[in-house]
């Protein structure tokens, strides 16, 4: 081979070798994990964001809030998500600081499986009694009194609860602790609690696991995020609120419940038993978790860009997918806070 041809071949090989890493630097992968509560919405957001930003892909795994927080503390992800936000103790384990951003809101519903799936109303003391294991039959007098004209079977109640550390459990049990003293003194509130010991209490992982178990189990009732019940076609009950009114999920009740939440500077706030006749009784914000100090400035910029997409185009998807769009004042507060992701 002539010397000139060899030189051209070598220069071509050099170009081929150096072009690979340079091209790879033009693409970025953001990884996240955590809450299943907002998983359907986050999946839609992240797919649309990646379509709009061809060089950025977002890989989010719905493991449950507890697992997401663990991944975040262990620095195995770029961001995480939790319906329980993070505690001060958890935040203290992350050098450089944490930025918590509420990104959407949602409602926790009680889904059930009964013959013919009649429309049910559940008073506060009744659904608390069911999850305490005190009301064990669908033919219970209290259930019949709240649902005149509805034929309720003489069927055992099977309670479906989360098997994993869950923000959905945190929100639901915080609500139960607020409305029922026996619950507060007993199981209490947390991402995991000590449920009543009964063979009629069944544990399932994640929101989709709960919805699947309810659908497969005649006589079942369980708590799950509204969007999962909506898309799985699980019947859900009207719940009695603090004002004594029965309110359905998926309407104006969720926004009404969150309207009274005053977000503090750290953007962590819950409404465990909202006021107002129109308020749905179990509604919450859900948070994304970000490092204030990221080793890669380009990755930090990509994360800020992701947040901005979720606050703008993303919010337009929220209501149609069964979630609660952020009020404008909350959008403004989150947008301002996201600047701390550096």
CB 77 within 8 A of CB 32: yes
CATH number of 107-259: 3.40.190.10
- The token pair at 339 is 């600047």
Domain boundaries along the sequence of the chain: 28-106+283-340, 107-259
Query: Using one digit for the tens of pLDDT, what is the confidence trace for 12-61?
Result: 333 333 333 334 457 899 999 999 999 999 999 999 999 999 999 999 99
Q: How far is CA 256 from CA 107, 175, 253, in A?
A: 11, 16, 5
pLDDT bin (cut points 50, 70, 90) of residue 303 is very high
Domain 28-106+283-340 maps to which CATH number in 3.40.50.720, 3.90.1200.10, 3.40.50.700, 3.40.190.10? 3.40.190.10
Q: What is the mean pLDDT of residues 61-66?
A: 94
Half-sphere exposure in the Cβ direction for 126 (13 Å, CA): 24
CB 69 within 8 A of CB 80: yes
Dihedrals phi, psi of 251, to nearest 5 degrees? -115, -140
Average per-residue pLDDT for the chain: 91
Q: Torsion angle of alpha carbons 263, 222, 246, 260, nearest 10°?
A: 0
Q: What is the mean pLDDT of residues 126-139?
A: 98
Query: Using one digit for the tens of pLDDT, what is the confidence trace for 318-327?
Result: 988 999 999 9
Q: What's this model's pTM, rounded to 2 decimal places?
A: 0.87
Query: Using one digit for the tens of pLDDT, what is the confidence trace for 91-106?
Result: 999 999 999 999 999 9
Query: Using one digit for the tens of pLDDT, what is the confidence trace for 179-214?
Result: 999 999 999 999 999 999 999 999 999 999 999 999
């Amino acid at each position: 081979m002539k010397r000139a041809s060899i030189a051209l071949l070598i220069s071509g090989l050099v170009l081929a070798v150096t072009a690979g890493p340079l091209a790879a630097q033009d693409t970025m992968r953001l990884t996240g994990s955590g809450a299943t509560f907002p998983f359907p919405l986050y999946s839609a957001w992240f797919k649309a964001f990646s379509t709009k930003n061809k060089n950025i892909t977002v890989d989010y795994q719905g493991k449950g809030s507890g697992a997401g927080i663990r991944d975040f503390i262990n620095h195995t992800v770029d961001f995480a998500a939790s319906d329980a936000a993070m505690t001060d103790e958890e935040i203290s384990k992350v050098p450089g600081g944490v930025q918590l951003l509420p990104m959407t809101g949602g409602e926790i519903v009680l889904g059930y499986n009964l013959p013919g799936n009649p429309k049910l109303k559940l008073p506060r003391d009744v659904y608390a009694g069911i999850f305490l294991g005190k009301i064990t039959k669908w033919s219970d007098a209290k259930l019949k009194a709240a649902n005149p004209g509805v034929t309720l079977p003489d069927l055992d109640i099977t309670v479906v609860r989360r098997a994993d550390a869950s923000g959905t459990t945190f929100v639901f049990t915080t609500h139960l602790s607020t409305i029922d003293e026996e619950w507060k003194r007993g199981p209490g509130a947390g991402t995991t609690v000590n449920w009543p010991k009964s063979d009629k209490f069944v544990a399932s992982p994640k929101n989709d696991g709960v919805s699947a178990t309810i659908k497969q189990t005649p006589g079942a009732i369980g708590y799950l995020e509204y969007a999962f019940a909506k898309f799985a076609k699980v019947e859900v009950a009207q719940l009695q609120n603090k004002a004594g009114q029965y309110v359905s999920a998926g309407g104006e009740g969720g926004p009404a419940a969150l309207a009274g939440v005053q977000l503090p500077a750290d953007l962590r706030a819950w409404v465990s038993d909202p006021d107002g006749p129109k308020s749905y009784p179990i509604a919450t914000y859900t948070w994304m978790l970000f490092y204030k100090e990221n080793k890669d400035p380009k990755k930090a910029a990509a994360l800020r860009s992701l947040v901005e997409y979720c606050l703008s185009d993303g919010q337009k998807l929220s209501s149609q997918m069964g979630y609660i769009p952020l009020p404008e004042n909350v959008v403004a507060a989150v947008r301002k806070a996201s600047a701390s992701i550096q």
